[in-house]
Structures are given as C-alpha cells and as structure tokens.
Chain A
Amino acid sequence: MTWGGAGPAAGEHHGHLDLGIDIGPVVLRIALLAAVPAVAGFAMLRWALPEPSRRAVAWVVGAAAGAATLELLLSGGLDLREQLVPVLLAALALPMYLALSRDPRFAPRVATARRGAVWVFWPLAVVAVLRLGAAWFGTSPPGRTATELHTGVVLGLVAIAWFGIARPRGRVVTISTRVGAAVLALGLVAGAAQAMVLRPGPPPGLADVQTVDVGGAALDVVVPNPPG
C-alpha cells in the first residue's frame, strides 16, 4: 500500500510521516542482544544436543533472521553492496522453508539441500570470521570497526541459519562443521556486543564536526557524511 502524498520526499520514504510514537532504538538493541546469544547458544551446544525438532530448528532460524533484520536497522550501514541485502534475507528464508517443509513431493530435494547446507555455511562463516577479525585485529580502515563488526555479525547469522538445518554426511564433516559453528558463535556474541556499545557516528546525511590540532591551535573541521 502506498500513498506518495508526503511532499518531495514521498518517493523516498513511502510517504510515511506521522506515527505519534517514538520509542527509540533501545528496544531493538535489547532484542538483538537476546536473539544473538540464543542463536549462538544453539550453535555452541549443538554437539551435546540430540537431534533438534523441526520446531526447534525453525525457532533458531527465525531468531537468526530476526537478529539479522535488527542488525540492518541498527548498523547504520554494512560493508556490502546494498543489492546483496535482499539476497541475504532470501538466504535466511530458504533455511526456514527447508526446516518446515513437510511436502512429500519436495522431500528428496529438501534432503539434498540439507545435506549440502554445509557448503553454504562454510564460505559465509569464513567471510564472517574474517570480517570480525579485521575489526578486532586492526586491519579494517580507521573508523570502520563498527561497520566491519555489523557486517561480520550479519554474515555469521546467515551462516548459523544454514548450520541449523544442515545434515552433513560423514563424521569428519559433521564434527568439523560443529566446531566451526561453535567458533563462529563465540565471535558472533562478542561482535554483536562490541558493535552495540561502540559510539555511533552521526546519522548519514548529517555532516560531522571534529576538532583537529593545527599548529597548536584547535580548529573545528566539518567532515562530510553523505547518506547511503
């Protein structure tokens, strides 16, 4: 539903202006900091748990999808092309379908997809860990720490969603995947927590002002901060 009736900006923001309520982003941060440990806990304890039920897997995948969506709202931007974001959301929706599907017509394909899920998990997990490592060990550009952390957390959540539905063949693959997921889960908890407490920058579109030392004199400098 759309009403482009909100002035020149209507085309930009769907014409939604008035709500009358502003609860702030704190509730989103709390929800994120509840969802990420839940997802991470599943990944860390998977080796010790019996085969999870269909409903349990759906809850984990749903929590990962919810947490990733919250990250998109709270991050202020990711170090990814924006066009990839819908792809990531689709990559979160597909495990949900695979977890809940009961249609016998698709059962063989669902089983194949769940066996191959580790090959989605591993590349995402590696990239996520690299992003988190770049934030922690200083290889990310200055001022990009929070963005790297948010990017790593989002990719890691997608990876864990695929881990949740994975039914790999072979003992080595199964054990290595569970170990990898546990390591990633630890990184997720740490990365999400750090990203949430980092001082946020100015909202995109608003120029920042910083004070620099020029020959012993303090000088205020306007720093451009274009949106997008």
Chain B
Amino acid sequence: MTTTAGTRRLLGPDGLLNTRHHKAALMVFMVVVVGHWAEHLVQAYQIYVLGWPRPQAGGLLGLAFPWLVKSEWLHYGYAIVMLVAFIVLRHGFVGRGRTWWNAAMWIQVWHHFEHLLLLVQAMTGAYLLGKPVPTSIAQLVFPRVELHLFYNAIVFVPMVVAMVLHLRPRPEERALMRCSCVTPAPAAAAA
C-alpha cells in the first residue's frame, strides 16, 4: 500500500506508520485501547458497585446504543482492529520492546481466533461440541464470565511494557530505532 506517487510507503518496515508516523499511530492505537478498557471498567462498575442487572450493564456505549454492544460484529470488529494494529505497527519496535510487542500480538492472535469462532457459531448456528450457546475454546476449561476481560488484560500488559521499553531504549536499541519515537540520547541532550 502506498500513498500518493512520489511519497513513501505507508506500511512495512520502512513505511510511514513505522517511521515518521509511528508515534502518532501508537497514540491513536492507545486511545482506542484505553477507551475500550474504560468501557469495560464502567461496565464492571455498573455490575459490581451499582448492582445493575447484567442486561442493563452495557458500559457507556450500551446506555446509548444497547443494540451495538450486543452485536457479535462489534466484538469481532474490535478484535480484528487490534490484531491489524499489532501486525502493522510491529516493525517500529526493536530489541526488548519488539519481544514484548510480539508477545502481545500472538496473544491477540488467539484472542481473535476465539472471537472468530464465536462469530462463526453465531452465523451458522453450529455450536462448539453441541453446546446450547456459542462457546469459546477456553470456556471448555475455565467456567467464567470475565474470561475475555482477562484476555484483554494479558494483551494489554505486554503491550504497555513494549511501549515503555520503546520510549526508554538502551543505547544499542536506540541505534536501531528509525521511528519518530526516538529521542536524543540523554548525554547528547545534556550537551
């Protein structure tokens, strides 16, 4: 994928999203992820603090658009957007940050697969192992309500670690960085 003629590619290791616009792209991604978390926290607050029945506890979006949060498409859509962002933005990371980012990406691959499985079940009416309702793989082992909240947590933590390490690189990592997140070395800045 390229931008207009004469400009650089948007994607890939040398693409704008992994070089000049990497910082901006990460910020946009972080806003989306934090917004998602905020919705989950609001929903948890509604259930566990306010004592709302679960059908009414749909977070902030659910108050305005109750049909939206009950749609499988929304859940799958968020999962695929996250996965694409992890894949597209990974080239900007180096060293330890790349390792943590890759870990988050692979966990999200599984999380996405689980949502894909749920989406297919909802579309076809063929439920996993004859269950009466759409069921994800991990539900076979863990009886849970908040399993996917857990999934988001184990994706979010390595993602944040990757970003922190990315913004605080070691000298050898700084030498490899080609994105807009790189800042002058402390010694150079002092000089």
Is B137 an interface residue when CB atoms closer than 8 A count as contact?
A: yes
A/B interface sample: 11 pairs, CB < 8 A: A1-B78, A1-B79, A2-B75, A2-B145, A6-B54, A11-B145, A22-B123, A77-B129, A82-B129, A83-B140, A203-B132
Measured in the bound complex, the distance between the Cα atoms of B124 and A23 in whole Å is: 5
User: Can you list the 7 inter-chain pairs with the closest CB atoms, starting with the nearest?
Assistant: A13-B133, A2-B148, A76-B130, A25-B126, A11-B145, A205-B132, A5-B58
Comparing B16-24, B63-71, B93-101, the segment that makes contact with chain A is B63-71
A19 contacts B123, CB within 8 Å? yes
Q: List 9 additional contacts besides A13-B135, A14-B118; criterion CB under 8 Å.
A: A1-B36, A5-B66, A10-B54, A13-B133, A16-B75, A17-B70, A18-B71, A82-B140, A86-B137
Q: Which residue of B lies closest to A225 (CB)?
A: B130
Across the interface, do A9 and B57 meet the contact criterion of CB distance under 8 Å? Answer: no
B136 A228 Cβ-Cβ under 8 A: no
**A14 — which chain B residues lie within 8 A by C-beta?**
75, 118, 134, 136, 139, 147-148
The interface residues of chain B, by DSSP majority, are classed as helix
Contacts of A24 in B (CB 8 A): 124-125
Q: Would you call B140 and A85 a contact (CB within 8 A)?
A: yes
**Is B184's CB within 8 Å of the partner chain A?**
no
Q: Residues 91-121 of chain A: 1 if any B CB is under 8 Å from the residue's CB, otherwise 0?
A: 0000000000000000000000000000000
Q: Which chain B residues numbered 175 to 191 have a C-beta less than 8 Å away from chain A?
A: none
Report whether B43 and A5 are in contact in the complex, using a CB–CB cutoff of 8 Å: yes
In the complex, chain B residues whose CB is within 8 Å of the CB of A73? 117, 120-121, 124, 126-128
Q: How far is the CB of A90 from chain B (nearest CB, A)?
A: 10
Chain A contacts for B43, CB-based, 8 A: 3-5
Binding site for B on A (CB under 8 A): 1-19, 21-25, 27-28, 69, 72-78, 82-83, 85-86, 89, 203-205, 227-228
Residues of B within 8 A of A23 (CB): 123-124
- Chain A residues positioned under 8 Å from B47 (CB to CB): 4
Shortest Cβ distance from residue B80 to the other chain A in the assembled complex, whole angstroms: 11
Measured between alpha carbons, how far is A85 from B128 in the docked complex, in Å?
Answer: 11
Known: A1-B79, A72-B129, A89-B137. A18 touches B72 (CB 8 A): yes
**Among B62, B118, B128, which residue has its beta carbon within 8 angstroms of that of A3?**
B62
Alpha-carbon distance between A199 and B122 when the two chains are bound, in angstroms: 22
Whether the pair B122, A19 counts as a contact (CB closer than 8 A) is yes
The reply to whether A5 and B140 contact each other, CB–CB distance below 8 Å, is: no
- Which residue of the partner chain B has the closest CB to A78? B129
Q: Is the CB of B140 within 8 A of A76?
A: no
- Check A3–B146 contact: CB distance below 8 A: no
Rounded to whole angstroms, the CA-CA distance of A11 and B112 in the bound complex is 19
Do residues A9 and B129 form an inter-chain contact, with CB atoms below 8 A? no
Q: Tell me, rounded to whole Å, the shortest Cβ–Cβ distance linking A82 to chain B.
A: 4
Tell me which of A5, A10, A21, A25 has the highest count of chain B C-beta atoms within 10 A of its own C-beta.
A5
Across-interface contacts of A13 in B (CB, < 8 A): 133-135
